[in-house]
A and B are shown apart, each in its own frame.
Chain A
Amino acid sequence: MNASERDELYQELILEHNKKPRNYRKIDNPSHAVEGYNPICGDHIYLYLKMDENKIIEDIAFEGSGCAISKSSASLLTMTLKGKTEQEARQLFAEFHDLLTGKMDLQKSGHHLGKLAVFSGIWQYPSRIKCASLAWHALESALKDGKKQVSTE
C-alpha cells in the first residue's frame, strides 16, 4: 500500500459496506435504542442493542440514512461489537476515537480495531470525521443513558 492509497478515504471495504450494510435492521425489544443525528448533513442513524445480564452485546443493529462514511462506519461497528462486552465496546470507542483524530499509530499501539482501521486516513478530511463517528457517539450515549437522541453538534 503506497502513501496515496493509504490516504484514500473511499476504500473498497467502505464502499462495499455502504452498498451492503451489515445488521441493517431493527431489533425488537432492545435493551438500548438511540437516534444519532448530524444536523449539518442530515445523517440519521438509529442504533439498537440487546445486552444480556452479563453485559455482553448479544445483538446490535442499525437503520437510517447517511453518506457512505457514516453508513459503512455504522455497519462495521455492528460487526465488530457483536459478542463483545460493554467494557470492550468502550475500549474500542476510545481506540476508534484516537484513530479518527490521527492520534493512533497503527503499527505501534496494541489496538483491537481490526477492520475499523480502514478509517485511518480520515484525519486528513476534517469535515468528514463526524460522519465516521456518528454511530459511535450514538453507541456511547446508548451505553450511558439507555434510550435517547444524540446529535453531533
Chain B
Amino acid sequence: MLDINKIKNDFPILKREIHGKPLVYLDNAATTLKPVSVVERIRQYYLMETSNIHRGVYYLSEQGTLAFEAVRKKIKDFIGAGDTSEIIFTKSATESINLVAHSFGRTYIKEGDEILITEMEHHSNIVPWQMLCQEIGCLIKVIPIDDEGSIRFDQYEEMLNPKVKLVSLLHVSNALGSINPVKKIIDSAHRLNIPVLIDGTQAVSNTHVNVRELDCDFYVFSGHKIFGPTGIGVLYGKASWLEAMPPFLGGGDMILSVTFEKTIYNHIPYKFEAGTPPIAEVIGLGSAIDYILSIGLPLITSHAEELALYGTQALQTVPGIRLIGTAANKRPIFSFVFEEIHPHDIGTLLDRQGIAVRTGHHCTQPVMHRYQVPATTRASFSIYNSKEDMDKLIQVLMSVKDRFK
C-alpha cells in the first residue's frame, strides 16, 4: 500500500490552507503537484549547472548534455522504447500530436483518406487533425462510445478500412477516466497496416506502459501531469517512421550542415528538436520519473484502482449525483453533475472549503455533447489523495446541496 502521509510530505503545497481550510487538491487530470525533489533538481540546474547543451566543449556544457541525454535514456526505459533516438522532446503532449499531424500527416495522408479518433478525445487530439483535413481534404471519422464511456469496439472494427491512414486515441480519458483497450485497438489496426498514435497523458503516471509490447507507432505524454514541470512533452515514435518523416520545425540543432543552397538534416531524434530545448524542464522531468519509480508504479496502479472503485461507489450512492463515465476499467477521474446546480457554483463553493476541482468542459466538448450536459464538475485523484479526500468532497457537496435547496 502507498504510504500517503509520507508522500504528502514530499509536496509542501499540501500543507497550505486555502480560504482558511486545508487544501484538498483534486485537479490532477489538469496538472499534478510537484514534489520537492523535482523542484530542487531544476533549481540545482539553474543555479549551479546552467549551460547550453550539444555545442559547448567546456565542462558545464558537456555535463549538461550528459544530464539531458540521460533523461532521454530514462524515458526510453520508462516507456519501454527500443532506442533513445525514438524519444523526442517537445513542449507539450499537444505539440507532440501537432508534430505528427504536421510531419506524418502531410506526408502519408492524402485527400479522401480517413483518420479515426474517438468520441472521448481531448481537443488536442481533434483540432490538429481538423487543421490537416482543411488543408489536404482528408476526413475525420469518430469511433463512438457507449453510455458507460467505453469505446464501441465492434463499431471501431467495422470502421477500419484501407482508406484509414491513422488511428489516434487517448490511453486514459481525461474527462471520463475510461482506460481504453489500446493493445486490442492497435492489433486490429495493424492487421490493415494502419499506424496508431496513443495519447498517454493521463496514463503514464499511473499505468505500466511499454510501447514495444503495445506496438504503437506513436505515443505522447506531457511532463506536468506526471509530477514534472510544465513546458515539456514527449513524443515516442518508431524509428522507421521518424526517419522517414520530414522535420517539423527548422533551426539550430536539427541540422548537420547548412548552406544557403541546401541543408542536411540531423539524425533522429535531433531532426525534430530545433532550437535550444527546454533543458531545465527535461532535467526536471527526469527527476519526476525517478520520483515515480522510487514509489513504485505497481503500488501507484493499485492505489489508482482502489480509488477508482471507492470513488465510483461512493459518488453513486449520493442522491442527485449523475456520474459521467462509469466504465468498469477506469482511473480515479470523476466527472459528475449534481442535481440542477451548475458546476461553476459547485466549483466556487468547494473552493471556499479548500477543495480544488475542475469545472467546465475539460477540453472535451464532444463528450459534454454526448452526455447532453453543458459542463461537469471533475474530481481527479493522484498518489497523495486518499479515500478521506473523497469522503470530504461528498460531505461538502451535501452542504452545497443544502444551500441550493
Residue B403 is within 8 A (CB to CB) of chain A in the complex: yes
Write out the residue numbers on chain A whose beta carbons fall within 8 Å of the beta carbon of B58.
none
Mark out the residues of chain A between 9 and 25 whose CB falls within 8 Å of any chain B CB in the assembled complex: 9-10, 15, 18-19
Write out the residue numbers on chain B whose beta carbons fall within 8 Å of the beta carbon of A43.
374
Among A42, A65, A68, which residue has its beta carbon within 8 angstroms of that of B345? A68
Among B345, B361, B368, B375, which residue has its beta carbon within 8 angstroms of that of A69? B345
Are A68 and B342 neighbours in the complex by a CB distance under 8 Å? yes
Interface size bracket, A side: 10 to 19
Mark out the residues of chain B between 349 and 395 whose CB falls within 8 Å of any chain A CB in the assembled complex: 349, 359-361, 368, 374-375
Nearest CB in chain B: distance from A142 CB, A: 23
Nearest CB in chain B: distance from A72 CB, A: 10
Write out the residue numbers on chain A whose beta carbons fall within 8 Å of the beta carbon of B59.
none
Residue A76 is within 8 A (CB to CB) of chain B in the complex: no
- Docked CA distance A19–B342 (Å): 12
- Docked CA distance A19–B345 (Å): 13
Residue B344 is within 8 A (CB to CB) of chain A in the complex: yes
Among A19, A65, A69, which residue has its beta carbon within 8 angstroms of that of B374? A65
Are B361 and A67 neighbours in the complex by a CB distance under 8 Å? no
- Docked CA distance A41–B358 (Å): 11
Write out the residue numbers on chain B whose beta carbons fall within 8 Å of the beta carbon of A66.
342
Considering only CB atoms and an 8 Å cut-off, how many residues of chain B contact the other chain?
Answer: 15
Given the interface pairs A10-B349, A67-B344, A128-B348, the reply to whether A42 lies near B403 with Cβ below 8 Å is no
Residue A40 is within 8 A (CB to CB) of chain B in the complex: yes
A128 closest partner in B (C-beta):
B348
Write out the residue numbers on chain A whose beta carbons fall within 8 Å of the beta carbon of B404.
15, 18-19, 68
A9 closest partner in B (C-beta):
B348
- Docked CA distance A43–B404 (Å): 18
Are B348 and A42 neighbours in the complex by a CB distance under 8 Å? no
Hey, what's the 0/1 contact readout for B306-346 against A, CB within 8 Å counting as 1? Answer: 00000000000000000000000000000000000111110
Instruction: Report A's interface with B, CB cutoff 8 A.
Output: 9-10, 15, 18-19, 40-43, 65-69, 125, 127-128, 131
Subset of 26 A-B contacts with CB under 8 Å: A10-B345, A10-B403, A15-B403, A15-B404, A18-B404, A19-B404, A40-B360, A41-B342, A41-B359, A41-B360, A41-B374, A42-B361, A42-B368, A43-B374, A66-B342, A67-B342, A67-B343, A67-B344, A68-B341, A68-B342, A68-B345, A68-B404, A69-B345, A128-B344, A128-B348, A131-B344
Instruction: Report B's interface with A, CB cutoff 8 A.
Output: 341-345, 348-349, 359-361, 368, 374-375, 403-404
In the A-B complex, the 3 residue pairs with the smallest Cβ-Cβ separation, listed nearest first, are A42-B374, A67-B342, A67-B344
